[in-house]
Amino acid sequence: MRRLSQRKALTLVRELDAFPKVSESHVETSASGGTVSLIAFGAMALLAFFEFFVYRDTWMKYEYEVDNDYSSKLRINIDITAAMKCQHVGADILDLAETMITSNGLQYEPVIFDLNPQQRMWQRMLLLIQNRLREEHALQEVLYKSVLKGGPTALPPRSVTSCKQALFCFILYANIVQPVRCVADKQLKPLNACWVHGHVYVNKVAGNLHVTVGKPIHHPQGHAHIAAFVSHDTYNFSHRIDHLSFGEEIPGIINPLDGTEKITYNHNQMF
């Protein structure tokens, strides 16, 4: 009696089926049904394949929000070339609270103001992109993505040296012995400009960044630039801004002033 009920229970479990079955007439195979299945499987494979590419793609999502972290510092990235010797230029930041941010983070390096052909070409391209960007904002997205994929961003190295032995050579230029940087085409030019680059951290208040004649000094009444010993004839406020941005540097983002070049033939002109 007990064995019988056990067997019964076993068959019950074996035949238990929670899912409704398709009736026999519907599982018959046919050529047209097979074709539909094949097409469906093909479409699924194709969709899965493209879905993978969508997944790999990068999307830009813009979000703006109020920065309420006013105690932290803001980073300013600077890369400016001024057409004056380094000992004559000083760059600093003066903010609303009259706190002078001494430009410790900035480096001054003597360079040649004129760009070499390679750099000139790059700068023209940058300006072209800059002009296009003003009309087509979506271009920034394309640029950003191309950089993610490893495209070029920065200017090619500032001086291409061909002198195998030395970076700096000395020549007699304008009757004074001056250091010159050897350029690719064996053209010797004096280092007539100053490349000011680096980054500074400032308070998040209104202020101004200026690059002018003389090194900045801070005294109780304010702040001044010592320019007494700089001859007026050496004043040349021509400059080139290769990069000027706020916050962390993001490759592929072209900032509004990047690539600007201002040349003046007047010693007194300021920008």
Ligand X SMILES: *[C@@H]1O[C@H](CO)[C@@H](O)[C@H](O)[C@H]1NC(C)=O
Question: How long, in residues, is the chain?
Answer: 271
Secondary structure class of 52 (helix, strand, coil): helix
75: closest CA among 107, 105, 109? 105
Closest distance between ligand X and the C-beta of residue 173, in Å? 14
Stretch touching ligand X by CB under 6 A, among 7-15, 66-74, 205-213, 262-270: 262-270
Q: Does 47 bind ligand X (CB under 6 A)?
A: no
Q: Does 262 bind ligand X (CB under 6 A)?
A: no
Q: Could you give the CA distance from residue 121 to residue 20 in angstroms, rounded to a whole number?
A: 73
Q: Does 245 bind ligand X (CB under 6 A)?
A: no
Closest distance between ligand X and the C-beta of residue 131, in Å? 23
Do the beta carbons of residue 123 and residue 261 sit within 8 Å?
yes
Stretch touching ligand X by CB under 6 A, among 6-14, 47-55, 170-178, 259-267: 259-267
Give the CA distances from residue 68 to residues 79, 215, 264, in Å, rounded to whole numbers and listed in that order: 28, 35, 41
Q: Could you give the CA distance from residue 60 to residue 146 in angstroms, rounded to a whole number?
A: 13
Q: Does 212 bind ligand X (CB under 6 A)?
A: no
Which residues share a beta bridge with 210?
A: 92
Binds ligand X by CB under 6 A, chosen from 82, 83, 94, 182: 83
Binds ligand X by CB under 6 A, chosen from 38, 166, 257, 263: 263
Nearer residue to ligand X within complex by CB, 83 or 94? 83
Amino acid at residue number 134 = R
Q: Does 238 bind ligand X (CB under 6 A)?
A: yes
Measure CA 65 to chain center. 21
Residues 6+ apart with CB under 8 A from 218: 100, 102
Nearer residue to ligand X within complex by CB, 137 or 232? 232
DSSP character for 9? H
Q: Does 116 bind ligand X (CB under 6 A)?
A: no
Q: Does 113 bind ligand X (CB under 6 A)?
A: yes
190-209 residues near ligand X, rule: CB under 6 A: 192
Q: Does 267 bind ligand X (CB under 6 A)?
A: yes
Q: Does 123 bind ligand X (CB under 6 A)?
A: no
Closest distance between ligand X and the C-beta of residue 189, in Å? 10
Q: How many residues bind ligand X (CB under 6 A)?
A: 10
Q: Could you give the CA distance from residue 227 to residue 218 in angstroms, rounded to a whole number?
A: 14
Q: Does 271 bind ligand X (CB under 6 A)?
A: no
Please measure the distance between the N-terminal and C-terminal CA atoms of the chain and give it in whole angstroms: 108
| Binding residues for ligand X (CB under 6 A) | 83, 113, 192, 236, 238, 263-267
